[in-house]
Amino acid sequence: MTGQRARTRETVASVAQYILLGGFAAVAAGISAQGLTGFARSNMELTGAWPYLLFLALDGAAGVCAVLPAWPSGVWLPPRAPSTGRTPRTARPLQKRSG
């Protein structure tokens, strides 16, 4: 019974963590949306759905940039395209991160 109780306690703690994380993320997204849509309307003079699309694009890009470094090395990197021109002598190939 002790093993079952520990698993249940761990599951409850995990669910509580994800609920708190979702709540904090929702508040941060709401504040960001309010600021960015207001900026898009007043400074950029965007109308209709464009202020919301600006918010989604910028926050989406920030989310992608925040998540990518946490992925295993090399998973999200596209293959290197062959260069057709000359490269400067200072150009060096990318090295994989250790660890």
Q: Would the pLDDT of 84 be above 50?
A: no
How many other CB atoms are there within 10 angstroms of residue 34's CB atom?
A: 11
Confidence of residue 51 (pLDDT cuts 50, 70, 90): very high
DSSP H helices in the chain? 2-42, 50-67
Higher-scoring residue by pLDDT: 11, 93: 11
The pLDDT of residue 23 is: 92
Asked if 32 and 59 count as a contact pair (C-beta separation under 8 A), the reply is: yes
pLDDT digits (tens, 9 = 90+) for 21-46: 989 988 988 998 899 899 999 999 99
Q: What is residue 62's three-state secondary structure?
A: helix
Return the sign of the alpha-carbon dihedral for residues 44, 55, 74, 97: positive
